[in-house]
Amino acid sequence: MIKTEEDIIKEEEFTRQIRSDSTNTTAFYNRSLVYFRWEMYIKAIQDLNQVLKRNPKDADGFVARGDCKFLLEDFRAAISDYTSAIKFNESNALNYNGRANALYNLQKYPDAIKDFDVAIALDPNDANFF
């Protein structure tokens, strides 16, 4: 992955914010997005752990961490994070889609189909769910 000048500047700024205030969950979350773009999933997970430690009901944090774990092929851990995201935000189709893809990779096809169906029902215009 190519590190753009813009992302390098953002990562440095978020790091400065975190050094200034180690409870700044927004800076941790935003820096995790930069690490995700750079395919540095372990570092992204570490930042998301900080977010979720301070805000254990942050559905977006669980989805982002689940996405990292999915890409690291830790499908069971990804399912756990997607399930937490669903618990805190049942109306987001992406939460179900993420879990469905992880279930599919574990060959749990009936459960995957159920989650794909929910994702489609919540957002029938998103072609990614079909």
Whole-Å CA distances, 27 to 11, 51, 84:
9, 9, 22
Q: What pLDDT is recorded for position 85?
A: 98
- Structural domain including 15 reads 1-56
In a domain, 66, yes or no: no
The DSSP secondary structure of 13-68, one letter per residue, reads HHHHHHHH-TT-HHHHHHHHHHHHHTT-HHHHHHHHHHHHHH-TT-HHHHHHHHHH
Is the domain of 35 the same as that of 83?
A: no
Q: What pLDDT is recorded for position 31?
A: 98
In a domain, 69, yes or no: no
Q: What pLDDT is recorded for position 127?
A: 76
The CA-to-CA distance between both ends of the chain, in Å, stands at: 28
Query: What's this model's pTM, rounded to 2 decimal places?
Result: 0.94
Residue 56 has which token pair? 């254990």
* CATH number, residue 111: 1.25.40.10
* CA atoms within a 13 Å half-sphere pointing along the CA-CB vector of 90: 1
* Number of separate domains in the chain: 2
What is the residue-level pLDDT of the chain in tens, covering all 130 positions? Answer: 789 999 999 999 999 999 999 999 999 999 999 999 999 999 999 999 999 999 999 999 999 999 999 999 999 999 999 999 999 999 999 999 999 999 999 999 999 999 999 999 999 998 777 7
